[in-house]
Amino acid sequence: MGIHGNSTCVMNYDEATGYLLGAENKGLAAMFVMMNEARLGVGLQGLSIAEVAYQNAVNYARERIQGRSLSGVKAPDKKADPIIVHPDIRRALLTIKSFTEAGRAFTLWTALKSDIAHRSGDATEKQTADDLLGLATPILKGVLTDKGFDHAVMAQQVFGGHGYIEEHGMSQYVRDARIAMIYEGANGIQALDLVGRKLGANGGRAVMALFKEIGDFCEENRADENLSFFTKSLKKGLNDLQASTMWFMQNAMAKPDNAGAGSTDYMHMFGLVVLGYMWAKMAKAANESLAAGTGDADYFKNKLLTGRFFMEKIMPETALRKIRIEAGADSVMEMAAEAF
């Protein structure tokens, strides 16, 4: 498939001479300073490709006419209605839109943790931010690139057959999105890093801090009628995530394959909860702006609609992920290699 957006080549190091740079046995640690920063950049790449694919799909859906609306003609002056009137097209577009908007918020939230970890003068604040940055890195990289590719394909699908030919350029977005799931640590490794290293790091300090932050947000805003739908949906997702975390603690030590078999589902469940948290925070800000009469009211209303779609249609996936995790590793590991 190639990485056509970059200047790349194959380099052969056979019979080359290697030279030690820096202290012996410290190279891997140095490399991971670069690698962890790169993972955040790759996560942003996955998100960005989803966004540009979405923008193209929206423009096409507004212009392409095909069929009539199920609820009655919407463009009587034309031979057919634009395809954006069809519920399934809207489902696809809102799936991508709700993901990219929350993904941008998650990326900014993570970047802020990095700034605090590097620049805060408060030692406790600095440590907490560094903990959360480490926890967020595999989630951001793995989830945003997995979904970035999925959503590039979804945007391509809006074009129908036109999405598969080169004229509209959608096939290039799909090809370009695919590599982000692999480099800087393939996403299966991100999931294993999350479950195998980040959850238990420092006695689970980071994950407990984030669970508390999200839980406190839900509790503090529970009485807000304008926000209750968001906080209730978020709390359900958080409960699923906490239950799955506890299941790993009870079932993965004696049988590590349980952690490996459920790691990808867990990473995506964690991503759903974090993105849901971003939506709840955005909904709170939108409601406050509407109440104060500041800013563009239509913008904030549409922001709330997009967030409601995420909470109704996407957040419930945490329950499915929980079922998969708790099924364990037996069906995954029982079959002999020769039988595949």
> How many angstroms separate the CA atoms of 184 and 43, rounded?
10
Residue type (1 letter), 250: Q
- The encoded tokens of residue 129 equal 């931010």
Classify residue 196 by its DSSP letter: I
- What are the residue numbers of the active site? 184
Taking CA atoms, 25 is separated from 20, 28, 197, 307, in Å, by 10, 7, 20, 48
What phi-psi label fits residue 15: left (phi over 0), alpha (psi between -120 and 50 degrees) or beta? Answer: left
Using CB atoms within 10 A of its CB, is residue 217 exposed (0-12), middle (13-18) or buried (19+)? buried
Distance, in Å, from the CA atom of 214 to the CA atom of 86, rounded to the nearest integer, reads 36
Are 128 and 120 within 8 A, CB to CB? no
